[in-house]
Amino acid sequence: ESERQKASAALPEARPASRSPWAAALDTPTRRPQPSPKFYVPSVLLPAEASKSPSVHKIHILGEDERSKFIAHALSGVYESVELLGWKRTPSRYTNIQKTSKGHRRETSKFERNPIQLKKPDEEDNSPIDHLVISSKAFGAESSLDQYKHRLREDTTVCVMTEGLGVLDDVRAKIFNGTFQMPNMLLGHMSHKLAFNRNYNSVKQLKGGQLLMTPLPTTTVSHSSIERKTENRTNFVESFGRARQLRGSITEYDSWLRFKLPSVIFAAVADPVCVLLDLPYHGLLQNPPAQRMMERLLDEITLTLEMLPELESSTVVRDYVRGNLIKRQLYKNIMAKRDAQSSLLYQVQHGHQTDIDYLNGYFLKRAKRIGLDLRMNKLMTDMVKAKTLQTRQRINTDIRKARLEQLKAQQGASGGGGSGGRSGSNGGDEENSRKQEEARQHILNQILHPEAADRLGRIRLVKESRATDVENRLIMLAQSGQLRQKVTEEQLKDLLNAVADKKEEEKIVVSRRKGWDDDDDDLLDL
């Protein structure tokens, strides 16, 4: 009888062994306390022999957004060395991690100093990278990875963790297009809710979540190469599984796609309609025509998902797109952000580059291959791009108008004390200066990208002398034939830094002695 009781007590613990190792990612969350995160290794993807290899204790994280900083902070207790790489020239000021306690929102938050600080790109560093995480905007993944591709090897594990879909396709086509050895690529997605907190220069964790990864099928490499890649991938995923804040695990592609689809569909259905109608999220629920547009967008996207060849045998995705859960989650996400402004609307209103090509644009490309016509998604994609271009043109026009008004005010102040007999000569000087300014602007428009011209115009409004020095140097380079192509925003930043360094060298610092400490001197820093 005691043996029978032992056997019956062992049954509940033996039942999870028959489940799929990635089924836990799709369970409905409950209010019961969750157990400590466990790491599941599907035997199809990762053989048992690979788990015996020693772990690699260094990881590189490429990105400057809130997700990259949070991952670096979470992995600092797992890896012996975590290096946060930057692909922009201007580092971010957000250096802390803010955690909110469970319960009431007004409870005291905890702040931790992120031990992993950003490192600027170093072109001379050729040390190999074993583990790499790319966390950035979808449109910036290719350019950021291109700066570090010379440090990747065949057995390097790279996890691409961006918004949208189809990012890895562009990376493989434009960077690893046969001229460079393809590393071991993983797709990743996090369900954590993160945000920048400007008041405390920190990354705030609004809500905990899970991190899922999925590998790509590899069929064109040797058996030994597959073993090395599998071993490195195992070490990579195991390290994420040991990070308590990340709860990382690996799964198959269809389960991973099901995990990511809610955020992708929300960004591809709700955000474009907000841009079209200039509405906050709660305005969508009070506008029947807006709801009909969202339904048409959603119907086209779900039809494309059902027709994709790689998802033909996937019951996970098919049940999701055919059921009513997809609409309920869309409504739930809109209600959760009802008072907030659409992030896509903010980007369009400020002329920033968007991820529309990896949201609606991704479904357009896939639908074209299988012969589907997504007219509504095509309309929304063109609308977002047209509005973004219109905003950039308006900003450039406003900058030119503001600059001309400044020139007129300066000329009026300098010519106000002159005699009436010199009015004719003053009018001629004003006409000559106007023509010179127009010629100057014409040259700058030919040698500057719109983003670079926009940044230079904003700098002129704040510090005119610095902008003039940069313009003079650019015009001199253009006239001497040293500019082969248009100057990008990153190149303009380098030139601005060079001008600033030159100004710093010309400064003379005078220090005064004082025999006492005066706290009022600290006010001079303000």
For helices 464-479 and 423-447, angle between their N-to-C axes, nearest 10 degrees: 70
Would you say 69 and 161 are in contact if contact means Cβ atoms under 8 Å apart? no
Quick one: pLDDT at residue 64? 80
Residue 496 pLDDT grade (very low, low, confident, very high; cuts 50, 70, 90): confident
Going from the C-alpha of 178 to that of each of 140, 172, 215, the distances in angstroms are 21, 9, 20
Would you say 272 and 301 are in contact if contact means Cβ atoms under 8 Å apart? no
Quick one: pLDDT at residue 290? 92
Please indicate whether residue 5 or residue 36 has the higher confidence score (pLDDT): 5
Confirm or reject CATH 1.10.1040.10 for domain 259-388, answering yes or no: yes
Burial of 320 (0-12, 13-18, 19+ CB in 10 A): buried
Whether residue 114 has pLDDT greater than 80: no
Same fold, 38-251 and 259-388: no
Residue 481 pLDDT grade (very low, low, confident, very high; cuts 50, 70, 90): confident
Mean pLDDT of the chain: 74
Judged by average pLDDT, the poorest of 348-352, 382-386, 391-395, 403-407 is 403-407
The CATH class, in words, for 443-504 is: mainly alpha
Give rounded-to-5 percent helix, strand, coil for the chain. Answer: 55, 10, 35
Residue 504 pLDDT grade (very low, low, confident, very high; cuts 50, 70, 90): low
Quick one: pLDDT at residue 55? 46
3-class secondary structure, 484:
coil
Whether residue 96 has pLDDT greater than 70: no
Judged by average pLDDT, the poorest of 120-129, 162-171, 416-425 is 416-425
Quick one: pLDDT at residue 36? 42
Whether residue 95 has pLDDT greater than 60: no
In this structure, are strands 110-113 and 58-62 parallel, antiparallel, or unpaired? Answer: unpaired
Would you say 251 and 22 are in contact if contact means Cβ atoms under 8 Å apart? yes
Alpha helices of 350-488 — where are they, by DSSP H?
360-369, 375-415, 423-447, 450-462, 464-479
Judged by average pLDDT, the poorest of 27-36, 73-82, 151-160, 333-342 is 27-36
Contacts with 293 (C-beta within 8 Å, 6 or more apart), sequence order: 273, 276, 376
Residue 3 pLDDT grade (very low, low, confident, very high; cuts 50, 70, 90): low
3-class secondary structure, 73:
helix
Judged by average pLDDT, the poorest of 29-43, 146-160, 284-298 is 29-43
Q: Which residue has the tokens 């025509």?
A: 289
Average pLDDT score over residue span 489-510: 67
Give the architecture-level CATH label for domain 38-251: 3-Layer(aba) Sandwich (3.40)
Residue 75 tokens, joined: 């992995």
Average pLDDT score over residue span 125-149: 84
Average pLDDT score over residue span 51-65: 66
Average pLDDT score over residue span 99-121: 48
Average pLDDT score over residue span 359-374: 93
Q: Where are the domains of the chain?
A: 38-251, 259-388, 443-504
Quick one: pLDDT at residue 298? 94
Would you say 243 and 236 are in contact if contact means Cβ atoms under 8 Å apart? no
Residue 124 pLDDT grade (very low, low, confident, very high; cuts 50, 70, 90): low
Q: How does pLDDT run across 316-349, given as a tens digit for each residue? A: 999 998 888 899 999 999 998 888 889 999 999 9
Whether residue 46 has pLDDT greater than 50: no
Residue 359 pLDDT grade (very low, low, confident, very high; cuts 50, 70, 90): very high
Average pLDDT score over residue span 504-526: 42
In this structure, are strands 152-160 and 129-134 parallel, antiparallel, or unpaired? Answer: parallel
Please indicate whether residue 500 or residue 262 has the higher confidence score (pLDDT): 262
Quick one: pLDDT at residue 174? 82
Judged by average pLDDT, the poorest of 42-46, 386-390, 472-476 is 42-46
**Count of all residues that appear for the chain in the document:** 526
Quick one: pLDDT at residue 25? 38
Q: How does pLDDT run across 215-260, given as a tens digit for each residue? A: 875 444 444 444 556 666 777 888 888 888 888 889 999 999 999 9
Amino acid at 502: K
User: Dihedral through CA 510, CA 516, CA 519, CA 520, nearest 10?
Assistant: -60
Q: How does pLDDT run across 460-471, given as a tens digit for each residue? A: 777 788 888 888
Q: Is pTM beyond 0.75 here?
A: no
Question: d(Cα 78, Cα 74) in Å, to the nearest integer?
Answer: 8
